Amino acid sequence: MDTTQHDVIVIGAGFAGIYAIHKYRDQMGLDVVCFDAAEDVGGTWYWNRYPGARVDIESVHYSFSFDPELQQEWHWTEKFAAQPEILRYLNHCADRYDVRRSVRFGTRVVEVTWDEQNDHWRVTTDKGDVVTARYFVSGAGTLSVPKTPDFPGVEDFAGQTLLTGNWREDVDLAGKRVGIIGVGSSGIQAISEISKVADALYVFQRTPNYATPIANYPTDPAEEAADKARYAELREASRNHFLGVPYSDVQPSALAVSAEERREVFEDRFKKGGFRFFIDSFGDILFSQEANDTAAEYVRESIRKRVQDPRTADLLCPTDYPYGTKRPPLEIDYYEAYNRESTHLVDVKANPIQRVIPQGVRLADGTEVELDVLILATGFDACTGPLLAMNITGRGGVRLADEWADGPQTYLGLTMAGFPNLFAITGPQSPSVLYNMPLAIEDHVDFIGDSIQYMRERGLTVMEATAQAQDQWVYETNALADMTLLPDSASTWYMGANIPGKPRRVLVYVGGAPRYRSICDNVQRNDYRGFAFATSTAEVETATPSPALDPALAAIVEILRGQGFTGFEDAGVEGSRAAVESFTAMQAPRKEIGRVVDEAYGTDPEQKLRIFVPEGEGPFPVVVYVHGGGFVAGSIEVVDEPARDLASRAGVIVVAPTYRRAPEHRFPAAHDDAYAALEWTADNVAAYGGDPSRLGIGGDSAGGMLAAAAAIRARQEGPELSALLLVNPLVNPVADTPSRREYAEGYIIELADLQWFGSQYLNGPEEVTDPRLALDAADLAGLPQTLILTSEYDTLRDEAEDFATQLLGAGVETNVQRFDGMTHDAFLMSGAVPRCIEQRLAAADFLRSALVEGAQEPEVEVVTA
């Protein structure tokens, strides 16, 4: 038995392990040991040697990028390399970086436990080794645990049984009667090859697949030279692309073009091959069923053209799940295989496999198919399987298997709360297979290396994701998947749906590589947001973590940074207006509602309003909703989408005015206009189906202040109001609160922005005592019932919550709801920030209860969402 201590234990010697060993051992000087159950390097490419195994991303892109010399020197013989060549490449890399001396091959990890006394991981292997290390890095892969065969009698089969996911031998199938179960990527590749040599091939198909041409060809020297001449640029473009490939021809919507144009695009992408059809044709294929239908039908047409027997063609055409919701297999002559007399398609959906018998397979109707070889191409226990197979126990004796009983819980798909210093390269809920794997792996290996370095520089020993950060990540991952058609596929492994009893949760982050990478950048740039650090396990639970900003907002902060946005003052008046206007790009599609009418309530071009009437029978209650934008920016267009959303969810008419903006019009122009719009609404809304006796007002940010000030004025001058809705409101331009100091930078609206906006609107500093601007100095008694929505990481949070306390003190029925992890303006970003929906629902519930159903009970404390 070996008992040794190391700095890092790495699992797996595939792409991930090879780079991790090189990085941590050679570049960082750490003591690294790696375990792999295989007898040599290669990972997936070691285990999957079935005939036809081949990569589905161009090899020039599906390869390491960290070593410029390697990528210049290596020559791929084909556009999409076959398994033997990729394995040769990985062997070359293993030699080049001398990784084998750090790997214990033929050794399987059977137990992994965090030792709290010594702040390290203890790993036990099937050889009886016990080794320890401060850091545990899994490079065990996503598709490395084959699904356990679920056919009774499989062990009784008298012939040879082979598993595509564990196929190492060279098997001669010539002249044999071969059966293959499964038509995923593995089955499809294998069928194409085996059909050429087998005496008879029986394909047992349960769910047909949408396979499209790979369009492989021998490497063209001119193309290779051109690619190598701009390799760095290609890698950069890859990392900025959803799938990690440098494609740039995607068009927004399959529904926005004519049928002819659509066909041209499909034909072109089919011809180009690879994932061009899937990811480089139309951007809404994975989001809109209607768009998806056009792609699915195109694939079905191509199948019908290629398969001679119409009944077989029909059976091969998928019809009951959307294209792309299973990883689209790429093929070479797959459909032609069915034109061979020796290939037999067996529909095991209609006539299921009853059991495997010694001589072959027996179907439900009693048919027996005699076989010499049975191949199981039945897939993998994807993403979670490889980690769960290692029997991992974290801090406090918590077992990963228990934590994940309802699906994976991770932060960034890389770490887990309760499992200190444990990292899963391309783990569940990371982009993994939806991001060109070698690049996804390099990013993770680098992130982990940087984290270790960060800790070493600060004398820290333990790093762990917080539960809040993890919960936010799980929410983001599930919410993004729910925006796609993925959940509509009955058996996709992306959702764990291929394994009986496995929880139905998305296993892959579907936000795309650029969004994911922005989030990771934001996490690292901000002292590892969402992680707690300590010098011992005992302290990690009480350590103060860096704020766990909602991942979607972290991505937006980084995108703004990447676009060179350095604040509203630098952007100037026009730049600020354009920046706020660009929020519309982050909104969900505008909902269809009953009616939308534009009107004017004054003679200035900015004194306009838009009336949003919901579906159904009026008269409807009415809310005037005043947009934000620091009195300088913002418009009806920016609130059009939220206004439709509130109108339809709450069943109220929303009237959204614009108003004269600063600096052209200073205080009190915007205040006067907001009130004038309210008056106009009270006088005129009946003509649009509104009931002015059930009237409320609301607004966000500076619009919140305008709404509150108008409500205060209306108390004396009318109209009578029944509701006040304030979303992240400005309460006092010179408030001095902890949230203004703590979240002064890096959270969408910065303290400097507030100061600049104030300087544009106010005529002079003395004005800030005016109770229309210093709402906290106003008499608040008699205001209508109020809901204030605040965000944890908003400079304006504390003044808004203090204002709620003042309102309650003045006898106003007031609720406050604070949204953890959120920032200013998230309320406007329904398309980019999944948790925006929580704020919208809270606002709509309030309006419905205050205006539609009558008064609600007051609540005094701050409740967090």
Dihedral angle computed from the Cα positions of residues 763, 766, 769 and 770, in that order, rounded to the nearest 10 degrees: -40
Q: Is 674 helix (H, G, I), strand (E, B) or coil?
A: helix
Region 72-91 residues binding ligand N01, contact defined as CB under 6 A: none
Based on CB atoms, which residue is closest to ligand N01, 205 or 281?
Answer: 205
Place of tokens 């001058």: 717
Q: Can you tell me the distance from the alpha carbon of 83 to that of 722, in angstroms, rounded to the nearest whole number?
A: 69
Of residues 182, 545, 630, 758, which one binds ligand N01 by CB under 6 A? 182
Quick check: 142 and 493 in contact, CB under 8 A? no
Q: What six digits make up the tokens of 14?
A: 């595939």
Does 384 bind ligand N01 (CB under 6 A)? Our answer is no
- Shortest distance (Å) from residue 840 CB to ligand N01: 36
Please state, as a whole number, how many other Cβ atoms lie within 10 Å of the Cβ of residue 638: 26
Element spanning 368, H or E:
strand 368-370
Q: Collapsing DSSP states into helix, strand and coil, what is residue 114?
A: strand
Q: Which of 137, 296, 348, 613 binds ligand N01 (CB under 6 A)?
A: 348
Binding part of the chain for ligand N01, among 185-193, 406-414, 450-458, 797-805 by CB under 6 A, reads 185-193
Please report how close the Cβ of residue 27 comes to ligand N01 at its closest, in angstroms.
29
Residues 6+ apart with CB under 8 A from 364: 351, 352, 353, 354
Q: Smallest distance from the beta carbon of 348 to ligand N01, in angstroms? A: 5
Q: Does 434 interact with ligand N01 (rule: CB under 6 A)?
A: no
Site string for ligand N01, 115-144 (x = CB under 6 A): ----------------------------x-
The residues with which 375 forms a beta bridge, in sequence order, are 162, 180
Report the alpha-carbon angle 261-263-267, nearest 5.
120
Closest by Cα among 307, 242, 232 to 281: 242
Q: How far apart (Å, rounded) are the C-alpha atoms in residues 96 and 847?
A: 66
Residue among 125, 238, 281, 378 that touches ligand N01 (CB under 6 A): 378
CB of 278 to ligand N01, least distance (A): 12
Taking CB under 6 A as the criterion, the residue among 9, 55, 291, 462 binding ligand N01 is 55
Residue nearest to ligand N01 (CB): 184
What is the closest distance, in whole angstroms, from the C-beta atom of residue 253 to ligand N01 in the complex?
26
Name the one range near ligand N01 by CB under 6 A: 4-12, 19-27, 371-379, 570-578: 371-379
228 lies in the site for ligand N01, by CB under 6 A: no
| Smallest distance, ligand N01 to C-beta of residue 385, A | 12
CB of 514 to ligand N01, least distance (A): 21
Q: Using CA atoms, how far apart are residues 524 and 530, in angstroms rounded to an integer?
A: 10
Comparison of 285 and 437: residue with beta carbon closer to ligand N01: 437
String of DSSP letters for 608-637: EEEEEEPSS-SPEEEEEEE--STTTS--HH
**Cβ closest to ligand N01, residue 102 vs residue 205:** 205
Contact 531, 517 (CB under 8 A): no
Q: Which is nearer to ligand N01, 321 or 675 (CB)?
A: 321
Q: For residue 444, give both structure tokens.
A: 């993770």
327 near ligand N01, rule: CB under 6 A = yes
Rule CB under 6 A: say whether 185 interacts with ligand N01: yes
Residue type, 201: L
Q: At 776, phi and psi to the nearest 5?
A: -70, -10
Q: Residues in contact with ligand N01, total (CB under 6 A)?
A: 28
Residue placing its CB nearer to ligand N01 in the complex, 56 or 798: 56
Specify the residue for token string 């993998």: 380
For the chain, give the number of residues.
865
Site for ligand N01 in 486-515 (CB under 6 A): 491, 493, 498
Q: Is 830 in the site for ligand N01 (CB under 6 A)?
A: no
Complex with ligand N01: residue 183 or 812, whichever CB lies closer: 183
Interacting residues with ligand N01 between 141 and 180 (CB under 6 A): 143, 150, 164
Q: Directed axis angle between helix 669-684 and helix 702-717, to 10°?
A: 60
Residues that bind ligand N01 (CB under 6 A): 54-56, 143, 150, 164, 181-187, 189, 206-207, 327, 330, 348, 353, 377-380, 433, 491, 493, 498
